[in-house]
Amino acid sequence: MPLCNMRDLLNEARKGGYAVGSFSVANLECVMGVIAAAEEIRAPIIIQCAETRLKHTPLSMLGPLMVAAAKAASVPVAVHLDHGSTLPCVEEALRLGFTSVMFDGSHLPIEENLASVRKVVEMAKATGACVEAEVGRVGRGEDGSDSPTVAASLEDCFLMDQTGLDALAVGIGNAHGLYAATPELRYDILEQLTGKLNAHLVLHGGTGLTDEQFVKLISLGMRKINIATDIFRAAAMAPHGDDIFSNITSSAAAVKAITQKYIALFGSAGKAE
């Protein structure tokens, strides 16, 4: 069952009317916590790392760890490159066995974004991996860097869908990191897209949204929901002392607890079989 294609997970989620959590991992403790959470409540999950974070944990080390953990899991796990910004990084992720890659060209003019995504769709064919792209713009970079929040135009969504990609992140007033106040989300954009795209809809910036917002988003077709900040904070803020081994256990347990909260909210508990 273990390492699986993200497309299969999202197809099942579409049929079942739930969303699959895509949890960002930065180290071993995050990987262990997220997978233990999914195994205990029998949920399919996605584990991901963003290119901008690889200066802390290189893909050549973190990537094989993620793939090995997915292969050893007792539930379906897809391994995804989040916010790939360069083709060499996408290429490396594919070579390491990632079953999904995102190319984020949301800062580019739409024609350039489309052209880059078409290239990545071609590259991914060699391994059968999924491809995700972004239109409009999710506010703030995954690493907290400054960038605007831009609502996706319907035209751009339909153009991107024609590239043959599998998953589409849309800017709907969402942003990475902690929100100063609960954001007003543009549900109207999703209402106009529902049932009209081949690609599965992806929500970035999950940390800090309300339970009601998640329920509404899933009812409007959101099938992959990204959570990073809450995972990283749980790992970092777990009780730590001077024994590294207790610290590892403590971080992994904190990550497991927060992951299970999200899995339950997304409706994917019990969907592993």
Please indicate whether residue 146 is annotated as part of the active site: no
Stretch that binds ligand 13P, among 2-10, 60-68, 93-101, 222-230 (CB under 6 A): 222-230
Binding mask 137-166 for ligand 13P (x = CB under 6 A): -----x------------------------
Q: Give the type of residue at 172.
A: I
Site residue total, ligand 13P (CB under 6 A): 16
Return the SS3 of 119.
helix
Residues contacting 231, CB < 8 A, separation 6+: 23, 24, 25, 26, 30, 33, 34, 255, 258, 259
Residue 90 in contact with residue 117, Cβ under 8 Å? no
Smallest separation (angstroms) from ligand 13P to the CB of 59: 16
Q: Which of 88, 91, 70 is nearest to 79 (CA)?
A: 70
- Does residue 206 bind ligand 13P (CB under 6 A)? yes
Stretch that binds ligand 13P, among 6-14, 54-62, 221-229, 236-244 (CB under 6 A): 221-229
Binders of ligand 13P among 49-108, rule CB under 6 A? 50, 82-83
What is the CB neighbour count within 10 angstroms for residue 92? 20
- Does residue 205 bind ligand 13P (CB under 6 A)? yes
Report the b/e string of 107-128 with b at 16+ CB within 10 A: eeeeeebbebbbebbebbeeee
Q: Which residues bind ligand 13P (CB under 6 A)?
A: 24, 50, 82-83, 142, 176-177, 204-207, 226-230
The residues assigned a catalytic role are: 82
